Structure formats: structure tokens, C-alpha cells
A and B are shown apart, each in its own frame.
Chain A
């Protein structure tokens, strides 16, 4: 008989991800993903000035601030058919690149790495051997024996103080952990170093956005960074050189540490390329526009159906008709009124709460569908669309990663194997290495454009009746789209409707009217579960998506109620 396991990180008011799985014969036989808090934040945008919407959407989520800001201004610009000056495009792109790098580094090291890395084994490692291993992988200067010894002593110190015991729910010592003490030490040392580099990426965002986590420099129509290479008060050459220096520090960390670490761990856990494929329809948006009309992009977007890479179709831009016509959201299994699939411009957000019902409504997340199908979004979707459609940049970085993984694994891991739990981690690291390369390019594009004498940063928006717009961004967690309906005349405008279809809605979607599972749910099926009380394997698969469900509330509970409960029924 199947055992039902509930993994519920909440016990009170915040809205977060809850996962229920049924386990039979050591593997997941059924699954549900639900979000436990109603957002409905879109409703407070109605009636407001569209030019201010981004300030609010930036507060949807404290981690994905920048991405909701950019999608929002793009939605209004699309509705008003505004062109964006080149400088503004490049400045925005540089912000998005650095935000993405920060996000990916944190996701891997500080959220996911400890799913695979066992801290408890570190005291038994030989730092000299770790150093020899590391040097065989890359030239990273932080791979000295001294650095590994220091990290090992740090762990020993924390362990001696009894504080490691604090991580009582860490799954260290779990039978599914299998790295050698030396590899554990290697990864942990980089976990510590990653703190410094993710902070540099945040600094780069703040340098252009004037603040982080909430950037201040966007406007509908461009940016507010005045450009004058000779003025101290504006975006000048000094600041641009400082920005470049930060990016030049982060890039080697990505190329020589993050990507090789992910490839090494992937090669050593190569069986995780066999689990977690789930929904194999993929959807990605083009991004990093290189012209003012949003017709040329450095990241390609499109879609793939049924895991068949040769089915790939590219989107021509942010507002490809195939995309806008294809997207609907439905609520048969979500706590909202109505059942019919609605295109987001016509979307409604009227709550209708029931209890958690396995066969009925069980989530605050709507079920977005593309041409009636559940779709997986995220770096994997972006990498597969790029690779399958022959994008040279994607191909270069992906092949490099696959070669390294195959060497470590001792057998060939091809691109099709990326459709898996481990593939999502690998794709994220590949995307990071692409972003790091594109960061150099877009910095140069900006500087060259300014050198030509172009200092334009903004085109003034003008309202002219009712218009629909979609603001699309290929965010760190995947395709994000803000759908807006505006109305107004001249400089007066207001929001008639607003719907945000976020990446974690695609991936964390509940079942739809046809009973099709969302990507989290589908990916858990057949996952091995060695120990139902410690379902590390299910957590590995969920973490591989980089889920973001909070977008919500942040109340601290000093009583220390568990942030996650695992209940075996």
C-alpha cells in the first residue's frame, strides 16, 4: 500500500510550496504540488498609473525583484509600442545578467549543493588530495591546499562547538550521499567562496540600478541613468570601469568553479540524469535585446514538445503571436472561481478556497498552459531550445559542460540526458557561463555606443486609448510574463487589468481540467525514495527547479516552529 508523505515548509500564515507524494515500493507513485498562500497582488494594481506598476511588482518577491520590475516596464512599453534607446537596453541587460549570475550561484551553492554534499564527511578529508583533484579540473587560484585546510578547520570548529547539530534536518549521512570526503571538502570550500562572488554580482546590479535588492533606475521607456562620461554625478567612465572590474571577478568564478563543480557532481551522481524529467514540453523566451525595437536577441527563445528536440520552434520576439495566442490559465484544481481557460489579458483572480483536496482544488497556483499543454520553464528550457535550434553560443557552452561531465562519469552523457533532475542543475550552470560571457559583450556594446556620442536613455510614453501589452523576461527561473491592459490619453494612463504568469506558476502548476500534472508533480513520479522519513531524493528533484513560491510574506516565528514538516501518513 502506498505511503503518503507531505513535505510542507509551512505551518502557519506564509504561502509556500507544499509537496505531497505517495511512495510505493521505494519510489514515488503519485504527487501533488501546491502553493499555500493566496497572492492576488495583481488586484491592487488595477486603476494605478502603469508607469508606476514596476515599483509594486518589484515587491512581489524579495528574491526576484529585478525580474518583476523589468517585465512590468516591458509590458507597458509593449502596450504603448515604445522603442527603447540602445543605451537603456544594454544597461538593463547588464542588470539582468548580473542578477542572473547572483541568483544561479546562490541557488546552486546555498540552496542545493548540500543535497549532494555531506558536510559530516569533511573532517576526514585529505586537503592535499582535494587540492590535487581540484587542480586537475581548473586553474582556480582558490584551490590551494591552504584554502582547503582552512575550510576544513572551519567545519571542524563549527562541529566542535556543537553547532552542526543545529542542522538536524540536514540529510547528512543519508545513504543517497556518495561523494568522497575530498570532493565534499572541495564543494564546501567553494560554497564559502561563493558567498563573496555572489555579493560582487549584487554590487554590479546596485552600481547600475543604484540600489539592490530594489533597483531604482527603470522608467517606462528606458532608464534613468544619466550618461556623461566626464561627469562625476552620472554614469561615467569610472563607474563603467568599476562595473567591468566586478564582472571580471565573477566570470572566472563561474567558468572555473561553479560550472566545473556542477559538472563534477553531475558526473559522480550520473544516475540523477535518469530521474525527474517530468513534463518534457519546454518554453523559453528570447531575451537580452540588442536593438531598440526588440527584434534581435542574444538569448534565443521558443518551444519544444514531447521531449523531441527536433520539434523546436523559435519565437521571433517578446510578442510572438504563437506565444500570446498559446498561453492560458485555468483553475479547475486551484482555489479560484471559474474553470474555463482564460488568456491572461482576460484573466481573473477571484479566490474560492476549499480544503486541500487530492481530487479537487489543492493550490493557490493557477495552471498555465501553452496550446493546452503543461510546459517546463527555466534554464533547461532555454538551453534545450537554444541547442536544438542551433544557437552557437548555447552549443559552445553546453558541449563544454557535457564533455566534462562525460569525463567524470566515465561514459557519454548527451544533450538529451539533460531532461532530468541533474540536467536542470547543469543547464543553470551552462546558462550562468553564457551570461558571464554576454556580460563582457554587453558592457562593450554600451561603451561603444556611448563613444559614438549617443547618450539617449529614455523615450517618453504616451497613452492613446485601450491597449494590451505583454512584458516578457527569461528570468533565472524561466519565462516570466506580465500581461497588462492600459487605458488613457496623452500623459494620463491607468491599469485596467494586470496578470503575472511567473516561472514557478508554470513549473509548480497543479493539474489541469484534463488531469495533466504540472512539471514539479510529473518530475517526482518514479523518483526513488530510500527512506520515507527522510525523502532527500524528492527534495533533490524539487530543488533542481529552483522553486520560488514565496513572493509573499515574511513573518519570523521565534518559537521555532518547523519551517518544513515531513509527515508520513
Chain B
């Protein structure tokens, strides 16, 4: 049985950058997974992503991306596409570091065999703003792409009859 981890990454305080944590929480609240599948909201772990990456066979990341597509576009990148980016000199450990975390894990011989990034093109990154509509509307497609990958690698899921509260606490409070 493969170990599959679904991780939402991004800052919940910065508008569309919250799409990763938002979607991860939504998935966990609406789906039950078979053994070996975990869902986590990791926030902005930077290089600490490594701690959540080792010992895993399949890593599915959900994050906002900047790829000059229209806002709300969903793009799936595989490991080769992600690692095509060359890590450069790093001054602090906390910049976006998906690529570099993979390299460190790779160098240590403990990198997930499969890595996917389900990217959503963001529209705004305003402090305290909720998701923009274009990004919010893209979430069902993101979920579909995530679940496809889970099944492809032998994981199973079931929709919850009664969903749990997704606890998107930052949005409720922001609009209050």
C-alpha cells in the first residue's frame, strides 16, 4: 500500500494564497480516505516541507501559482516539471521551497517517488481578503484532480454522507 499525502500550502492571511489550505480542509471535511492517505493544511512551511515529505510515496500539493494564465486556471505539474526549476541561492529558509525541499529529500535518498502540484492561478494576494471568485470557482476542479491522483496510485475515497465542518476559520472571521 502506498503512502499518499495531500497537502495544502499557502498563507491563509493573503487572499488567493489560501487556496491550498482551503481546499485541503474542504477535502478532509467532505471525503473519507482509505488507509495510507492523509490530508493536511501545512500553511507556509518553507524548507520545513521536508519534514512532511519524507517517508511518503506520493505527495500531492495544492498551491497558488503564478504562471501567467487567467485567474482560476488549474494546472497540474508533475515532479519533472517542478524540478525543472533550478533552486538558486537562498537567503532565508522560508521562501517558497517546493523545488528545493524535493532536492534535499532527493539528495538524502528519501524523496517521494511521485510529486504533483495542483496549481491554481491566483488573482489577488491582499492581506485579510477572502478567496476571489475565480479561484473559489476553480476548487471543484482542483478536488477532481486530487482525487484522480489518489485513485491512480491505488488510494481509495468515499464522499461523506454528512460532511464535517471544514473550519475555514479565517474567512468567517474576515467577513465578520
A interface with B by C-beta (< 8 Å) = 7, 9-10, 12-14, 16-17, 19, 39-41, 43-44, 48, 52, 55-56, 59-63, 65, 102, 106-107, 110-111, 119, 154-155, 157-158, 163, 166-169, 191-192, 195-196, 198-199, 202, 213-214, 539, 542-543, 546-560, 562-566
- Closest B residue by C-beta to A11: B88
In chain B between 67 and 104, which residues have their CB closer than 8 angstroms to a CB of chain A?
A: 67-68, 75, 77, 81-96, 98, 100, 103-104
Closest CB of chain B to A132's CB: distance in Å? 24
Selected contact of B106 from candidates A12, A52, A163, A557, CB within 8 Å: A163
A40 to B75, CA, bound (A): 31
Closest CB of chain A to B110's CB: distance in Å? 7
Among B6-14, B137-145, B153-161, the one that faces the other chain is: B6-14
Q: Is B27 an interface residue (CB 8 A)?
A: no
Please indicate the chain A residues that have their CB under 8 angstroms from the CB of B93 in the complex: 63, 106-107, 110-111, 546, 548
Closest CB of chain B to A263's CB: distance in Å? 22
In chain B between 23 and 59, which residues have their CB closer than 8 angstroms to a CB of chain A?
A: 41-48, 50-51, 54
Residue pair A41, B127 in contact (C-beta under 8 Å): yes
* CB pairs A–B below 8 angstroms (27 shown): A40-B127, A56-B13, A56-B170, A56-B173, A61-B44, A62-B45, A63-B48, A106-B47, A110-B93, A167-B87, A191-B108, A192-B109, A202-B48, A539-B89, A542-B91, A548-B93, A549-B91, A552-B11, A553-B14, A554-B63, A554-B96, A555-B10, A556-B117, A557-B66, A558-B75, A562-B86, A564-B90
Residue pair A111, B50 in contact (C-beta under 8 Å): no
Residue pair A560, B84 in contact (C-beta under 8 Å): yes
A566 to B91, CA, bound (A): 11
Q: How many pairs of A and B residues are in contact by the CB < 8 Å rule?
A: 212
- Asked if A198 meets B89 with Cβ closer than 8 Å, knowing A213-B45, A550-B46, A556-B117, the reply is no
A157 to B111, CA, bound (A): 14
B interface with A by C-beta (< 8 Å) = 9-14, 17, 20, 41-48, 50-51, 54, 63-68, 75, 77, 81-96, 98, 100, 103-110, 117, 119, 122, 125, 127-128, 169-170, 173-174
A561 to B66, CA, bound (A): 11
Besides A191-B108, A550-B44, 20 more A-B contacts (Cβ < 8 Å) are A9-B89, A10-B95, A62-B9, A62-B43, A63-B48, A110-B50, A154-B108, A158-B107, A167-B87, A191-B107, A195-B51, A195-B104, A195-B105, A195-B110, A214-B41, A548-B94, A550-B46, A553-B125, A556-B64, A564-B89
